[in-house]
Structure 1
Amino acid sequence: MEVIIVHKSAFKKIKKVAKAKFEKEEKEVIGFLIGHFHDESIEIKDIIIPEQTADRTFVEVEEEVSLVNALIKSNRIGTNEVCCGWIHSHPGFKCFLSATDIETQMYWQRVNPRNIALVYDPVHVEFKAFRIKKEEDSFQEIDIPIKIHD
């Protein structure tokens, strides 16, 4: 069974940013997962937070250029690390994929079927990984175990 290994520094980053965004402005936050795909795991080493527009129940990256700029600032360009999916917060709503999130995740899985969606709720301190499985005319969320790694 596949497992998501999140480096402690990446986990601390999303916790800090999501908590601050919610406490100051009651807003969601979005980011991109940087790491490696292994045979039975996905290793998340960093989370890139680009410029974004958000409110309590919605968040989007303002422009694709902001993602490229965030990657350049992170010094991740030129490494063998790849984008393994995306992460966003659901402050106070617990961890799930909304209809919009499902569409977004389907896009990510068209790019790479192993890409994942991580959802973090800074209010309930909950963290979950998801992938979408299409079954005829419906979709099923697949929970994937997460381990925090030093």
Structure 2
Amino acid sequence: MTPKQITHRAVNFTEKGIPLRTLFVPSNLVDEFLKIASRNTKRKLETCGLLCGKLNRNAFFVTTLVIPEQESTQNTCNTKNEEKLFEVIDNLDLFMLGWIHTHPTQSCFLSSVDLHSQNSYQIMLNEAIAIVCSPDKKFHKHIGVFRLTDPPGVDVISHCTKTGFHPHNEKNLYKECQRLGINNSKTGHAVMMENLSFETKDLRK
């Protein structure tokens, strides 16, 4: 059965009760992204990509992994030439469903910089997610799928005027949102799904 033949009912909600439509991510997308990022990872540099896709029958499907032009350090990754990036996404008529990036020297979590980046996606689309990949085998957890809580996360970060790395001592600003099994809906709205195709557009080339 294809995505177009299914009507999806929202079964997840934000902390203030707003429905979250299910977001399907191809299960092999993370591995493909890690292959793309491997050169930077070996140099202990972050890599980022954008998760773009379509809305079908009240659910989002990631159909395109976009690798933007970027500047990377061990702890940051900033997109460049964003005008070209947005032009590509607009021409493909895609939603920006979130982002994915590596932590080559750290574990899976959202740093203060990541929190602000995620907020910029989530204020445009409640369902937007952040996937964090920690390729270093010394960390027990290698992949995390997160969203800001709403409230308090979105409110706190939206009103924060600080830039760069800075402490956020407030509790429960973000949470994991990957559904642990397609029928275990209470665990999150993001579903890693097999047999979903996607394409990769590397704008660095």
With normalisation by structure 2, the TM-score equals 0.60
Q: Give the C-alpha shift of residue 95 in structure 1.
A: 1.0
Q: May I ask how many residue pairs the two structures share in their alignment?
A: 144
Which residue of structure 2 aligns with residue 147 of structure 1? 192
Q: Which residue of the partner structure matches residue 35 of structure 2?
A: 16
Question: Does residue 96 of structure 1 match 2:96?
Answer: no
Amino acid at match of 1:57: N
Match of 2:91 in 1: 77
SS of the equivalent of 1:147 reads: strand
For structure 2, the residue ranges without an aligned partner over 5 or more in a row are: 1-10, 13-21, 157-169, 179-190, 196-205
CA contact (8 A) 1:10 1:46 kept: no
> Which amino acid is the alignment partner of residue 126 of structure 1?
H
The CA deviation string for residues 89-116 of structure 1, in whole angstroms up to 9 with x for no partner, is 1113121000011111111111112111
Q: Which residue of 2 aligns with 1:129?
A: 145
Q: Would you say the 8 A contact 1:5–1:149 is kept in 2?
A: no
Contact 1:52–1:60 at 8 Å: present in 2 too? yes
1:32 alignment partner AA: L
For the pair shown, which has the larger CA radius of gyration, 1 or 2? 2
Instruction: Label 1:78 to 1:49 Cα distance change in 2 as closer, same or farther (>3 A).
Output: closer
User: Which residue matches 1:49?
Assistant: 67
Q: How far has the Cα of 1:18 moved from its partner?
A: 2.2
Query: 1:50 offset after TM fit, Å?
Result: 0.7
Deviation at residue 13 of structure 1 after TM alignment:
2.3
Structure with the larger helix share: 1
Identity of paired residues, percent?
23
Task: Confirm or deny that 1:87 pairs with 2:105.
Answer: no
Per the alignment, do residues 102 and 56 of structure 1 end up closer, same or farther by CA in structure 2, a change over 3 Å counting?
same
CA contact (8 A) 2:24 2:193 kept: yes
Q: State how 1:18-37 maps to structure 2 within 5 Å.
A: 18-23=37-42, 25-37=43-55
CA RMSD for the aligned pairs?
A: 2.7
Q: How far is 1:34 from its partner?
A: 1.2
Q: Is the 8 A contact 1:32 1:87 kept in 2?
A: yes
Deviation at 1:9, TM superposition (A): 4.8
Aligned residue for 2:116, secondary structure, equals helix
| SS at structure 1 position matched to 2:173 | strand
C-alpha contact 1:32 1:47 (8 A) present in aligned 2: yes
Give distance in 1, aligned partners of 2:132 and 2:113: 13
2:5: which partner in 1? Answer: none
Higher strand fraction: Structure 1 or Structure 2?
1
Do the aligned partners of residues 16 and 110 (structure 1) sit closer, same or farther apart at CA in structure 2, a change above 3 Å counting? same
Aligned mates of 1:108, 1:44 — CA distance in 2: 15
